[in-house]
Every structure is written in structure tokens, then in C-alpha cells.
A and B are shown apart, each in its own frame.
Chain A
């Protein structure tokens, strides 16, 4: 029992950690590409300077994303060997494709970062195109593996062994399309808002107005285009869940009892003992409408499934609300920004707008992490929905608690180091002098 909890905790912490870095690894290339493109197109050097300024954090974050991703690929083996023995022939292909996409990413990121004095400006821009494409498809590929865990497809079981394998069906499993679209958009929104927050903070301190205003325009443009698409893809996900993953939808909405004309419950605490949601706000019939496009349709509650096969709504519903709530906070902040810009107000001087953007900036990541928790907790107790329970997939080795402790220390050290590096005041001259020149910063 202890081993399962340790294994789940370690996997969860590793993924939660990795998601932040990989999200930036997907989102930042798009911003780099757009900035370089704009700079080439208009001859405005500010956008190029902006992009070159981003490469330092991009390099560090991408490197940590790469190593934390390596930890994950190893953890698949040493935490869940029995699950991988079962599912490897099916989800392994998604990881193989992701591997090639990631390879392409690493190559073109290295060219972009280190190539400044070896490649032309046009070539630098060119490098951002495969970088952006590869990072987006690598997200879509790796999400396929997660989607397969939710809606396993492309095989049958004969005498307890895999048979009749269709790799393409396993890859393009029923949950893949909406998960991939929603997840990739989420990465763009989260990165957009993270960048907007950093730029807003710099403007509040009165630093580099031109560059940081460009950064706000670009990052919020990307986020603003993606936010409505997120709502649409979220709705697509909900209607699909209503057919494919009914227990997950029931846990997300904290619907204990199968109901005709089911209400949507906002906020509140699901109480399994009483089968009610305490302190929630009910909007009549909205859940039925969202799930089946019919105000009086029946939505299955948690009671429709055998006991012990459904997730705990206390771990799912609050995160679902957090995800949706975060989206609305970001929509509000973005709307205010564009309103002020439309009114031709000086964004860089508007302290309250900048403070709002700074406040809203972590909500992209919060939404992404909580959305991921909804997906994962919402699948419990299954590691492969309907086929293998988490307890059946875990390693037979003991001592996972110690491994958990070890990696906790590793992540703490990495995070501390990263924060130390990113938030130290820059050396004189914006840190562009090199060690080779013999000048030392304010260390």
C-alpha cells in the first residue's frame, strides 16, 4: 500500500514539475517565431531584441524540461513496469513519435540559441519554424499516451494477453483529439500569461518600456486568440466525456445521483457521506445542456457505476472549478488590456492594468495543472480505464518511499537553483559581458 502511494506521489510530483517546463517549451517557441517574423517583416529591431532576451530563460527552462522529461520516461519503467509491459506496444509509439519531435526541437533550439553569430537573421527565423511545429506536435503526440490511458483502444485481450493490435487506433484513441487540442492551446495561454506577467512586472519597475510593451502585445495577442478556442475545445471535451468517460464527468461536476435535467454546480465541497455538494451554487439544467445539448437529458451520476470503480469527486470537482475559474480571470485581464489599447491609453503607464496582468499571470499555469489533475484523478482507480487498476501496474520493488524522498530533494534543489538564477538582479550592462572578457558581475 505504501509503495503505491509513494509511486503515485512521485509520478505526480514529477509530472507536475515537468508540465511547467514543457508548457513553456511549447509556448515560447511560438512567441519567438512571431517576434522574429515581425522583426523581419517590419524591420523593427525591438522584436528581435525581445526574442533574443527570451532565449536565456528559454535555454534553462528547456534544459530542465528535457532532464525532467527523462526522469519521467525512466519512471514509467521503474514505477509502473507492469503497466508498461501491458501498454508499451500501444502507447510506446506515441512516445517514439514524441521522441523524434523532441529531437527536432532540441536541434533547432540549439541552433537558434547558439547560432546568433553563425547564422543569418533569416536563418535564425527559419529555425524557429521547425522549433514551433515540433514542440506543438510533440505535445500532441505525448498527450495521445495520456488519452489512451483514459480511453484505451486499438487492441483486444485474448487469454489475458494483448491481441489484434492496431497501433493507429491506439494512437488516435477516442479521447486524443480533444485532449491534444485543449492541452496545446493551454500551453500557449499559460506561456502567454507567464510572459505577460514578467513584462508587466518589468514595466511596473519602469524598465525597458519599448521592449516590454512589445512583449505584452505579443504574449497577450497569442493568449487572447487561444482563450476563446480553449472554451470551445473545453466544451468539446465535456460533450465527449459525457459519452466516453462518464464517471470522470460525474466526478468533475460532483454529480452523485443520476439526474434528468441535471444542474451545473459551481464551487462547493462534494460530500460523499451525504451525497450532496455543500455550499455550491446550482444553475438548473445547465449540466444536461452542456453534456447532451438537451435541457432535460439524463446525466449519469457516480451512483450509476459499481462501487470502487469511480473517482473521488473531492479530488476532481475543486480542481475543475479552479481550472474554469482561472480561464475567466485571464479572459477578464486580457479584455481589459485590449479595451485600454483600443482607447489608445498608454499601457506602460497604467499601473492598475499592469498589476492586474501580474496577478492574472500565474493562472494559465494554475489552469493547466488543475486541468491535468482533473484528468488524472478523474481516471482513478484505473491506470488504463476499464483494463488495469493503478495497483496492478505498480512495481513489485520495495523502497519506493526512499526514491520519492530522493527525488523530492532533487526537485527542491533544482527549483531553488532556478529561482536563484532567474530572480537575481542582473549584472551591470544587462549581463551581456562574458566570463572570457574577464569581467565579473556583482557576485
Chain B
């Protein structure tokens, strides 16, 4: 279990969880910007925008962390994935690009006292597009339809487009849409807090229904993966995800927002853990084991040395960042 390959797989998994839990909430902010409604729609958009501002770029780096860890520690697997998943990856990338740019532009524009609805629109659309495409890519990678022949990856041209991956894309979106409003309940007060509380509860039901729907589709489209999902470790993670999800709803109901935020992150982390447990011990389900996809021993050792040194620098810096920007969003913009 504790081999370096498995630990490296764990690093990829942790990176994904961090990206989902932090970056996902930012995408959710974009989704709820698009879905903002009711008498306080404008305040909803503004508060989402102010909450994401200082942190989106840091949160985005988790994705780079995942990609870099993949090609350092699993070069063969990385090469295979990026060959066959070209289209969804390009779509996600375009979304990431426009969202980041739109966010920066909007920040710049609002500092000038201008409203740029076109840019805000792009921000919303790309926030929807990206988690959908990433969800599709991630689920397509476990279908078992990627075949390795002589180190070269092959797959049918449109294999990444199926009911299974479409639901996967929706789950990606739902994860983001679930986290953002629950996090916002901690950062807002009064009626606005009530708005986000209600949206968080609706999103939780959506996420629950979609993840449940993914199981029967997986049995048809990704049988090996579905079979492992029923295995003890994956099933344990999935059960924990359900428990976290129900607890979040109860806490939202009882207005214990800080703990609801923690539990919501737990729901997402455990959902991903269930997914990862069903992939393990493979990199490409049924095709390429983690051990076979892994880089040579010396590289993995060096990677973990870098990881430890990097973590020692990163963790205090991140804590400083999140503690500095905690609490009420400061509506006063930078001087």
C-alpha cells in the first residue's frame, strides 16, 4: 500500500480534492452568478465576486499542481490521457482561460467604476463550461475504453462522449454549484445569507441525485469501474460522502454555517475518494496499473523531497492568505 507509486497517486488525489474544494467553489461562484435571482440578485453577484477575488488565482494553482504531478510521477499515464482526451481538455482549457481573464478584466473594470456585462457573461459561461468538461474528462478516463498498444494510447474518436461522461460532467458542475453557496453562508449575513442557504440546500439535492444517477450508467458504460465502486473501500467512502451530505443539510437547516461549510467540503472530498478508490490500483482502469504508469524510483523520491519542502513553505503562506481575507468581504476596493 505505502509504495511510492501509491503515495504519488495519493498526491494526485489530494491535489484534485484541493482543486475541487477550493477551485470548485470559485467555479460555483460563476455558476451562481449566472443563476442569481430574486430581489437580491445583484447583491448575490457582488458578494460572490468579492469573495472569489483574492483567492481564485491561488485556488487555480491546484490544477497546475495536479497536471505537473501527473507528468512527473506518471509520465506514461499522463501521455495516454492527454492524447485521447484532447477535445474535452481543450474545451476545459478554453473555459479556464476565459474565466481567469474575465475575472481579471472584471476586477479591473469595476475598479474604474465601470460595469462590463459582456465580461461578466463570459465569466459565468466559462464557469459552467469548465467543470462540465473536466467532469467529462475525468469520468472518461475510467471507462476502460482507452487501450494501450506498445505504449501508445488509442480510443474511439468520440469515446469521451457518452451518457456516463455526460452525467460526469453534470456532477462536476453540481459539485461546484454545491460548495459556493454553502461557503457564502459564512461570508454573508441577513437575507443574503438566507438566499445562499436555500441555494446550498437545492444544490445538495441536485448533487445527490446526479451522483446516484451516475451509478447505474456506470454499470453500463464502465463496468469494471462500477464493479470496484461496490468494493468495500469505495463503498465506505461513498457512504461517508452520503453521511457528510445529510449532515450538511441538517447543519444548514439549523443555521450552523461554519460546520456546514466543513461538512460540504467533506462531502466532496469523500465523493472523490470513492471515485479514486474505484480506480485504484490502476491508473487507467483495466489497462494500466499505477505501478506500471509510474516514473522511475529516483524521480519519485526527488518528487517527494520537493513536495515536503514545498509544503513547508506553502502551508503557512496559505494559512496567512485565508486568515487575512476571512470574515466579511471588504467592499472597499484596493487603493
B307 partner residues in chain A, CB cutoff 8 A: 96
**B212 at interface by CB-CB < 8 Å:** no
Q: Is the CB of A97 within 8 A of B310?
A: yes
Contacts of A55 in B (CB 8 A): 334
Query: Closest B-chain residue to A62, C-beta based?
Result: B57
Across the A-B interface, how many residue pairs have beta carbons closer than 8 Å? 258
Check A78 against B90 for contact (C-beta < 8 Å).
yes
The stretch of A86-94, A246-254, A264-272 in contact with B is A86-94
The distance from the CB of A241 to the nearest CB of chain B, in whole angstroms, is 28
* Docked pose: A102 CA to B301 CA in angstroms: 22
Nearest chain B CB to A142 CB, angstrom units: 11
* CB neighbours of A328 from chain B (8 A): none
A113 within 8 A of B: yes
Stretch at the interface among B63-71, B167-175, B199-207: B63-71
Contacts of B153 in A (CB 8 A): 81
Chain B residues 226 to 278 lying within 8 A of chain A, measured CB to CB, are none
Q: Which residues of B contact A87 (CB under 8 A)?
A: 75
B78 touches A77 (CB 8 A): yes
Residues in A62-86 with C-beta less than 8 Å from chain B: 62-64, 66-71, 73-74, 76-78, 81-82, 84-86
Given contacts A71-B97, A89-B75, A116-B335, contact A81 B299 (CB under 8 A): no
Tell me the minimal C-beta distance from A281 to chain B in angstroms.
45
Contact between B152 and A433 (Cβ–Cβ < 8 Å)?
Answer: no
Whether, in the assembled complex, A359 has its beta carbon less than 8 Å from a beta carbon of chain B, the answer is no
Does the CB pair A67–B113 fall under 8 Å? Answer: no
Interface residues of B in 289-335 (CB under 8 A from A): 295-296, 298-299, 301-303, 306-307, 309-310, 313-314, 317-318, 320-321, 324-325, 330-335
CA distance A55 to B79 in the complex (A): 38
Q: Assess whether B58 is interfacial by the CB under 8 Å rule.
A: yes
Q: Is the CB of B105 within 8 A of A99?
A: no
Specify the chain A residue showing the minimal Cβ separation from B301: A167
Q: Does A52 lie at the interface of the complex (its beta carbon under 8 Å from any beta carbon of B)? A: yes
A118 to B326, CA, bound (A): 10
Q: How far is the CA of A90 from the CA of B73 in the complex (A)?
A: 10
The CA-CA distance from A432 to B296 in the complex, in Å, is 54
Contact residue range for chain B? 35 or more
Stretch in A104-112, A215-223, A341-349 touching the partner: A104-112
Interface size on A, residues (CB 8 A): 85
Contact: B78 with A88, CB < 8 Å?
yes
| Contact pick for A435, options B94, B115, B321, CB 8 Å | B115
Q: Are B86 and A410 in contact (CB under 8 A)?
A: no
CA distance A114 to B317 in the complex (A): 15
Contact A97 B306 (CB under 8 A): yes
In the complex the two chains form, is B334's CB within 8 Å of A88's CB?
A: no
Task: Give the chain A neighbours of B313 by CB distance below 8 A.
Answer: 100, 104
The stretch of A189-197, A200-208, A291-299, A395-403 that contacts the partner chain: A395-403
Q: Mark B106-129, 1 if CB is under 8 A from A, else 0.
A: 011111111100010000000000
Contacts of B85 in A (CB 8 A): 78
Say yes or no: is A340 at the interface (Cβ < 8 Å to chain B). Answer: no
A60-B108, A104-B313 known; A95+B72 contact, CB < 8 A: yes
User: Is A159 part of the contact surface with B, judged by Cβ < 8 Å?
Assistant: no
- B71 to A92, Cβ gap below 8 A? yes
- Beyond A71-B93, A110-B55, is A63–B101 a contact (Cβ under 8 Å)? yes
Q: Which residue of chain B is the closest to A68 with respect to CB atoms? A: B97
Q: List 14 A-B contacts (CB under 8 A).
A: A56-B108, A63-B101, A74-B67, A81-B78, A84-B82, A99-B61, A100-B313, A110-B325, A111-B54, A113-B334, A114-B325, A115-B54, A119-B324, A435-B115
* Further contacts, 5 of them, CB under 8 A, given A64-B104, A414-B97, A417-B119: A69-B64, A84-B79, A99-B310, A102-B61, A421-B108
Give the A-binding residues of B (Cβ under 8 A).
46, 53-55, 57-58, 60-61, 63-65, 67-76, 78-86, 89-90, 93-94, 96-98, 100-101, 103-105, 107-115, 119, 151-153, 295-296, 298-299, 301-303, 306-307, 309-310, 313-314, 317-318, 320-321, 324-325, 330-335
